[in-house]
Chains A and B, each alone.
Chain A
Amino acid sequence: MTALSGVRLGRPGAVASRRSLRILEHDLLVFRRGWSSYLLSGLSQPFLYLVSMGIGLGLYVNRSGSLPGGVSYLAYVAPALLVTQAMMAASFESAWPIMNKIHWDKTYHAALNTPVGAIDLLVGDLMWIAFRATLLSTLFLLVVVVLGAAASPLVVLAIPVAVLTALSFAAPIMAFTATQTGDGGFNALFRFGITPLFLFSGTFFPIEKLPLFLQPLAWVTPLYHGVAAARALSVGQLDPIGLTVHVGALLAVIVAGVAAGRVTFRRRLVV
């Protein structure tokens, strides 16, 4: 933090400053109160998912032997679930809790009475979401390794992929949250956005099995790219060009989301 404190990134409020780190500190202070329950659910969730889907459902899937590269269903689905879980947590975190800070408890407004600016709030809370995604993915990876579901040591790189995927959802959703005055929009977002993505982004089966007209839809969703990159790293079937495309797609969505958030945050909070 001290290394960054000398950095000035232009006009205060127009861009993020080192003060976004203060917002991250705030979130870590809240986290400190509940870290044990985070840890517990962070370990039990992947275990339940991997045993039921990877091992239970896998018993039947493996008989057909039709997965690309001939991997087991557990090895196929584990990296995808790792990424998906980070995405789900980040999506939730950028909806209701942010709405609370903007609209219900209005703690953002309290922070804005200090040298902290609107963009610092956006960037600070994105850093917190990245932190949380790192933590969740690391715990998930532990379970993956314990169950022997990863073929390649490169699977550790699934963690940064999961973090990028989490941010590629969090940034646009935070931008959206700043335009809302209640949580009605979130129900639609999750019902018609997040849940279908969770089911049809190549998490549970290859997108090649989707009807032809739906496949291009999968390509433009960030979750598909996150899942594909993590899976390639985990099963050790590395294709550098493919990986670059996947990571590039995630970064593009993050940049677009932050740009949108800069506008909606300022429009909402500085009036």
Chain B
Amino acid sequence: MPDPTAAPLIRARRLTKRFGSFTAVDGVDFDVAPGEAFGFLGPNGAGKTSTMRMIGTVSPVTAGELTVFGMSPEHHGAAIRARLGVVPQADTLDNELSVLENLIIYGRYFDLGWAESRRRATELLEFVQLTERSDDKVEPLSGGMKRRLVIARALINEPSLLLLDEPTTGLDPQARHLLWDRLYRLKQRGVTLCLTTHYMDEAEQLCDRLVVMDRARIVAEGSPRQLIDRYVTREVLELRFRRGDDESDDTAQLDGKLDGLADRVEQLPDRVLVYTADGEAAAAAAYERGLRPASVLVRRSSLEDVFLSLTGRSLVE
């Protein structure tokens, strides 16, 4: 379990990354405690990957402070990387080597002996359920298998901190769940997870705590539950309206009819979100006021709603 009193594994203050005149990360503050699963949630281009690359010591810090394991990336890059596991956004697997060889040579980069590297590689292939593919080339593996292999590769040095940059982007639901399960097991073993995602369900599944990033800044911080409690209501009523003959989307019929019904109303191109403690009651009230939506859905609020309320935009366009 995360221990809030322990010295943070990662500590960032006013951390900034600029590429020329473009500011990718604009003075962010955060701490990651040992044993914690910490997430950066945000849309593409929010600065998540740049932050991860600075933590991974492969991208120099432009300004501000950053320590990883209490060390400075600038002066102790190799020592930090020796204790890190990194799952980059791109698989970066070696197509010239077999599945097993990909892991063994990676272990050599960490100065493991050949025998030890082979032993760990074999064990890790078991862990990510790729043992039968040991001697195959990498190319024919499915996307989900490649991701699992990359996770196995990141674990070869038995890292205490695992950095995952969009670990399940582009995977089908089944592959994602299998991956989440492996990450959950690692967390139970005490590995600290630090991940970026633009999937709300992923953040809710995996993260103890997260920061919401938007346009190079952190706009909110907390546990998924805290963020939902703080920024949105318990439930959301989603109303979809039939498009009229003149292609107007018929939201004209709303005409203030939702006023006073809810804490907040968000109008999206394809639907209307009504934030309220009791979705069923709000739906009934809307009907009484003469609204005739084509479909009605009541659901629990999610981090998507948090992001929407913070930025006025949805996460995945």
| Real binding pair | yes
Using a CB–CB cutoff of 8 Å, the interface residues on chain A facing chain B are: 11-13, 17, 19, 22, 25-26, 29-30, 33, 105-107, 109-117, 269-271
User: In the complex, which residues of chain A have a beta carbon less than 8 angstroms from the beta carbon of B108?
Assistant: 22, 25-26
Using a CB–CB cutoff of 8 Å, the interface residues on chain B facing chain A are: 19, 56, 58-60, 75, 77-79, 81-82, 84, 86, 88, 90, 92-97, 101, 105-106, 108-111, 153-154, 157
Q: Name 8 interchain pairs, CB-CB below 8 A, sorted by A.
A: A19-B111, A22-B105, A22-B109, A30-B94, A111-B109, A113-B84, A113-B154, A117-B77
Q: How far apart sit A105 and B93, CA to CA, in the bound complex (Å)?
A: 7
Closest Cβ of chain B to A124, distance in Å, is: 10
| Residue of A whose beta carbon sits closest to that of B104 | A29
Q: How far apart sit A29 and B153, CA to CA, in the bound complex (Å)?
A: 17
**Inter-chain CB contacts under 8 Å: number:** 75
User: In the complex, which residues of chain B have a beta carbon less than 8 angstroms from the beta carbon of A29?
Assistant: 97, 101, 105
Q: How far apart sit A80 and B95, CA to CA, in the bound complex (Å)?
A: 36
Q: Assess whether A115 is in contact with B90, with CB atoms less than 8 Å apart.
A: no
Q: How far apart sit A111 and B59, CA to CA, in the bound complex (Å)?
A: 14
Q: Assess whether A270 is in contact with B58, with CB atoms less than 8 Å apart.
A: yes
Q: Assess whether A107 is in contact with B59, with CB atoms less than 8 Å apart.
A: no
Q: How far apart sit A186 and B109, CA to CA, in the bound complex (Å)?
A: 30
Closest Cβ of chain B to A269, distance in Å, is: 8
Q: Assess whether B90 is in contact with A114, with CB atoms less than 8 Å apart.
A: no
| Residue of B whose beta carbon sits closest to that of A110 | B92
Q: How far apart sit A270 and B78, CA to CA, in the bound complex (Å)?
A: 13
**A22, A110, A114, A117: the one within 8 Å of B157 (CB):** A114
**A114-B110 contact given A30-B97, A270-B60, A271-B19, CB 8 Å threshold:** yes
Q: Assess whether B59 is in contact with A25, with CB atoms less than 8 Å apart.
A: no
Closest Cβ of chain B to A149, distance in Å, is: 36
Q: Assess whether B92 is in contact with A13, with CB atoms less than 8 Å apart.
A: no
User: In the complex, which residues of chain B have a beta carbon less than 8 angstroms from the beta carbon of A110?
Assistant: 88, 92-94, 106, 153
Q: Assess whether A271 is in contact with B56, with CB atoms less than 8 Å apart.
A: no
Q: How far apart sit A114 and B75, CA to CA, in the bound complex (Å)?
A: 15
Q: How far apart sit A269 and B273, CA to CA, in the bound complex (Å)?
A: 45
**A115-B58 contact given A19-B109, A105-B95, A110-B153, CB 8 Å threshold:** no
Q: Assess whether B110 is in contact with A115, with CB atoms less than 8 Å apart.
A: yes
Q: How far apart sit A29 and B102, CA to CA, in the bound complex (Å)?
A: 10
Q: Assess whether B96 is in contact with A30, with CB atoms less than 8 Å apart.
A: yes
Given contacts A112-B58, A113-B86, A117-B78, 7 further A-B contacts (CB under 8 A): A12-B77, A107-B94, A109-B90, A109-B92, A110-B92, A113-B88, A117-B77
**A106, A111, A115: the one within 8 Å of B82 (CB):** A115
User: In the complex, which residues of chain B have a beta carbon less than 8 angstroms from the beta carbon of A114?
Assistant: 81-82, 106, 109-110, 157
Q: How far apart sit A115 and B80, CA to CA, in the bound complex (Å)?
A: 8
User: In the complex, which residues of chain A have a beta carbon less than 8 angstroms from the beta carbon of B157?
Assistant: 114
| Residue of A whose beta carbon sits closest to that of B50 | A271
**B81, B94, B154: the one within 8 Å of A115 (CB):** B81
Q: Assess whether A105 is in contact with B77, with CB atoms less than 8 Å apart.
A: no
**A11, A12, A26, A269: the one within 8 Å of B105 (CB):** A26
Closest Cβ of chain A to B135, distance in Å, is: 12
Closest Cβ of chain A to B206, distance in Å, is: 21
